[in-house]
Structure 1
Amino acid sequence: MSNTLSKYLNILTYVMIGLTAIFVAMFYLGGDLPNQADQTPVYTDVLIQWAKALFIVCAGLALGFPIIQLVTNPKGAVKGLGGLVGLGLVILIAYSLSDATLLDLPGYTGADNTPGALQFADTVLYTMYILGVGTVAAIVVTEVLRKLR
């Protein structure tokens, strides 16, 4: 990677971290909406939209870079495509573990208590759990193997 590109990516990383810190601070320190049954922070929607934007950018990059690698280096692209296939399998496993049973929420009249929304939420949560445990396991295994060498 060129030195200039690396410099710009480092700056972009710090800007993204700074914006995330600002949005989280706004969420926790911005107060609550008045006349709500439960505590509802004022800036909840802002933080959710920022998380959605980060997710879309990350998903686009995660899909885009293997395609670029496939075009520029077809033989080396097998590993990149293998990673995408692995991620697809993790999502498929998480989907099979998810549950679409409607929740019994007394007093809730919103439109989000639907089987599709609940199954999507479960899939995302299980995917994050699987990836989180896999990350911790990979770190532990890597460190143990490094110590044994």
Structure 2
Amino acid sequence: MSNTLSKYLDILTYVMIGLTAIFVAMFYLGGDIPNQAYDTPVYTDLLINWTKVLFIVSAGLAVVFPIIQLIVNPKGALKGLIGLVGLGLIILISYSLSDGTLLNLPGYTGVDNNPGSLEFADTILYTMYILGIGTVVAIVVTEVIRKLR
């Protein structure tokens, strides 16, 4: 990656972190909407929309940069494909562990208590658990190997 592009990406990262810190501070310190049954922060929608923007940007970059890398370095594409296959297997395992049993939620009349939504939520949670545990294990193994060298 060129030095100029790296500089711009660093600046963009700091700007996004700064905006996130500002939005989180507004969420926690901005007060509550009056006459609500529960405490409802004023800036809830702003923070949710910002997280949607961050998700879309990161998902877009996660798609665009591997395509660029594939074009620049076709031989290195095999490692990327192995990573994608591994991620696909993790998601498949997570989906097989998911459960679509309806929850007993007294008083809840919403539409999100359905097998599809529950299986999707379980799949995402199990995927995050597996990736999180894998990250911790990779950090520990890397440090142990580094100490043994």
Same-fold status (TM-score > 0.5): yes
Q: Which has the larger displacement, 59-68 or 33-42? A: 33-42
Residues 118 and 44 of structure 1: CA distance in aligned 2, closer, same or farther (over 3 Å)? farther
Partner residue of 2:63? 63
Partner residue of 1:76? 76
> Identity of aligned pairs, percent?
82
Aligned pairs for 1:83-102 (under 5 A) are: 83-102=83-102
- Any unmatched runs of 5+ in structure 1? none
1:8 to partner: Cα distance: 0.4
Deviations 1:22-52 (A, max 9, x none): 2222222223334444433332332222222
AA at the equivalent of 1:4 = T
AA at the equivalent of 2:121 = A
Partner residue of 1:108? 108
1:76 to partner: Cα distance: 1.1
Residues 18 and 113 of structure 1: CA distance in aligned 2, closer, same or farther (over 3 Å)? same
**CA RMSD in angstroms, aligned pairs only:** 1.7
1:33 and 1:107 map into 2 onto residues whose CA distance is 23
2:33 and 2:89 map into 1 onto residues whose CA distance is 41
1:67 to partner: Cα distance: 1.9
1:72 to partner: Cα distance: 2.1
- Any unmatched runs of 5+ in structure 2? none
Residues 35 and 117 of structure 1: CA distance in aligned 2, closer, same or farther (over 3 Å)? farther
Partner residue of 1:130? 130
Partner residue of 1:52? 52
Aligned pairs for 1:11-50 (under 5 A) are: 11-50=11-50
Which secondary structure state, in structure 2, belongs to the residue aligned with residue 26 of structure 1? helix
Partner residue of 1:6? 6
* TM-score in terms of structure 2 length: 0.88
Residues 146 and 74 of structure 1: CA distance in aligned 2, closer, same or farther (over 3 Å)? same
1:10 to partner: Cα distance: 0.5
Which secondary structure state, in structure 1, belongs to the residue aligned with residue 109 of structure 2? coil
1:23 and 1:90 map into 2 onto residues whose CA distance is 33
Count of aligned positions = 149
Give structure 1 regions of 4+ aligned residues with deviation exceeding 6 angstroms. Answer: none
